[in-house]
């Protein structure tokens, strides 16, 4: 069975996330300017202003993890939003149509401005457009070119120019003056947090692994909120790394009899974190690494930390607009996954074909074929939906996962 570890980190995570969501409502009630963002929008840049910043995607993931996803989705579907649309969007829209009811945080405070980007997930611009029309709230879209190879300088300059436009919009709307020193400090703070995050991820290389992908999924949460660039997040990732290192040194492993080391490709199945990790652990299988967790701290095909070198913080933020796994194409993903397979001694690949995230999933069939062929590694594709449990069948998924473990065994004996 799985050994639930890192109790202090889990407790701290719960505390800081609760404070964050409660704080949003309280500060908005005091009249602070509220901004909604897509998770890849550079929050560190927004630290140049005094704002309340909310990330609807993070809120939707939390609803799903707390088993509220399907209920909120149904509310959006009743308003005419198709069940084929992303479940994060449906949860968020359902929460909006029901005025926050059903959400563990009573939804999010109404925005004064929304900022999306279209390279991680372009449908998010459409999702925000719904509110833009329903509420007549301005929507600023960062247009970030999708990359089939590492970001080109022309595109970086284009993104930087848009940062300038965004700063002007915020100055006009808030009446505040942009403070670049605060941005520099936020980038510095994020950078420090990420050194601890990368330490934490590195513990997957140990056999047995000191961590699981499910740990990674849970602890990504602070990064995809306004906590990015705050000392609170740095403290959390330091605690997480130190606690994980201490457990590893003491020989405490989440899957002590780890026999199968798996790599997960897609967003976390938020409604299944406990079920899936426990059931896999019973089979001595551990998903030791995930492509999703590497959306933080690195870019494109590089697996190592992409560190800030202390130069122009805005330029650095423009460069890391490509950090989300979905911001770039198959060749870059292939290279990064190849390195993951080798560095973390992966026995099998789990491609989670996610109906709610086409940008992540469409290409997995080719990726699977290439990696399986080039590395002679076992692999499987399972159907999931990251936040709508109605589109997931545990038995079908595990039938395939068990077949994967058999494939791995078969490869070892042959």
Find, among 284, 152, 262, the residue nearest to 213 by Cα. 262
Interaction between residue 359 and another protein (CB under 8 A)? yes
Contacting another protein (CB under 8 A), which of 32, 206, 343, 370? 370
Query: Counting contacts by CB under 8 A, is residue 321 touching another protein?
Result: no
For 362-375, b/e burial (b = at least 16 CB within 10 A) is eebeebbeebbeee
Please, which residue, 184 or 319, has the CB nearer to another protein?
319
Written in H, E and C, the secondary structure of 226-257 is CCCCCHHHHHHHHHHHHHHHHHHHCCCCCCCC
Candidate list 20, 81, 289, 316; residue touching another protein; CB under 8 A: 81
Residue 105 or 353: the one with the smaller Cβ distance to another protein is 353
By CB under 8 A, residue 255 contacts another protein: no
**Does 104 participate in binding another protein (rule CB under 8 A)?**
no
Measured distance between the N- and C-terminal CA atoms of the chain, rounded to whole angstroms: 28
Q: By C-beta, is 98 or 331 nearer to another protein?
A: 331
Choosing from 102, 145, 202, 208, the residue that interacts with another protein (CB under 8 A) is 145
Q: How far apart are CA 215 and CA 383, in angstroms?
A: 21
Enclosing H/E stretch for 354 = strand 348-354
Residue recorded with tokens 């078969």: 410
The footprint of another protein on residues 153-212 (CB under 8 A) is 154-155, 158, 161-162, 165, 169
**Residues forming a β-bridge with 37:** 115
Query: Where in 327-356 is the site for another protein (CB under 8 A)?
Result: 329-331, 353, 355
Residues in the interface with another protein (CB under 8 A) total: 48
Nearest to residue 371, comparing CAs of 413, 328, 398, 336?
336
- Binding marks (x or -) toward another protein, 107..136, rule CB under 8 A? -----------x--xxx-xxx-xx-xxx--
Please report whether residue 86 would count as binding another protein according to CB under 8 A: yes
Least distance in Å: CB of 208 to another protein?
33
Residues 218 and 10: beta-carbon distance below 8 Å: yes
156 burial type by CB count under 10 A (0-12 exposed, 13-18 middle, 19+ buried):
middle
- CB-based contact 256:3 (threshold 8 Å): yes
Q: How far is the CB of 86 from another protein (least distance, A)?
A: 7
CB of 352 to another protein, least distance (A): 12
Q: Which residues bind another protein (CB under 8 A)?
A: 79-82, 84-86, 89, 118, 121-123, 125-127, 129-130, 132-134, 140-141, 143, 145-146, 148, 154-155, 158, 161-162, 165, 169, 326, 329-331, 353, 355, 358-359, 361-366, 370
């Amino acid at each position: 069975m799985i050994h639930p570890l890192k109790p202090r980190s889990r407790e701290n995570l719960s505390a800081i996330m609760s404070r964050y969501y409660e704080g949003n409502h309280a500060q908005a009630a005091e009249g602070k300017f509220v901004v909604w963002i897509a998770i890849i929008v550079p929050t560190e840049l927004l630290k140049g202003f005094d704002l309340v910043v909310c990330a609807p995607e993070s809120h939707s993931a939390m609803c799903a993890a707390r088993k509220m996803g399907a209920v909120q989705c149904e509310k959006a579907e009743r308003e005419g939003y198709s069940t084929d649309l992303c479940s994060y969007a449906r949860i968020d829209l359902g929460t909006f149509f029901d005025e926050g009811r059903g959400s563990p945080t009573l939804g999010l405070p109404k925005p004064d401005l929304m900022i999306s980007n279209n390279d991680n997930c372009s449908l998010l611009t459409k999702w925000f457009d719904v509110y833009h029309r329903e509420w007549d709230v301005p929507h600023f879209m960062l247009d970030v070119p999708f990359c089939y190879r590492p970001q080109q300088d022309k595109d970086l300059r284009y993104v930087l120019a848009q940062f300038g436009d965004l700063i002007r919009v915020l100055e006009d709307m808030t009446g505040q003056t942009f403070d670049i020193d605060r941005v520099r400090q936020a980038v510095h703070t994020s950078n420090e947090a990420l050194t601890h995050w990368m330490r934490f991820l590195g513990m997957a290389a140990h056999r047995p692994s000191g961590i699981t992908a499910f740990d990674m999924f849970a602890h990504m949460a602070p990064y995809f909120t306004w906590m990015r660039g705050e000392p609170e997040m740095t403290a959390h990732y330091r605690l997480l790394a130190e606690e994980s290192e201490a457990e590893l040194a003491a020989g405490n492993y989440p899957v002590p009899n780890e026999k199968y080391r798996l790599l997960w490709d897609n967003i976390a199945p938020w409604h299944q974190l406990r079920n899936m990790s426990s059931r896999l652990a019973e089979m001595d299988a551990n998903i030791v690494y995930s492509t999703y967790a590497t959306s933080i701290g690195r870019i494109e095909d590089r697996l190592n930390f992409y560190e800030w070198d202390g130069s122009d913080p805005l330029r650095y933020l423009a460069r890391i607009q490509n950090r989300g796994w979905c911001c770039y194409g198959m060749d870059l993903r292939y290279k990064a996954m190849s390195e993951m397979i080798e560095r973390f001694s992966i026995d099998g690949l789990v491609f989670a074909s996610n109906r709610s995230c086409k940008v992540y999933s469409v290409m997995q069939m080719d990726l699977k074929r290439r990696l399986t062929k080039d590395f002679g590694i076992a692999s499987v594709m399972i159907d999931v939906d990251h936040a709508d449990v109605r589109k997931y069948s545990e038995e079908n998924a595990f039938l395939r996962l068990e077949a994967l473990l058999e494939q791995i065994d078969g490869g070892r004996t042959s």
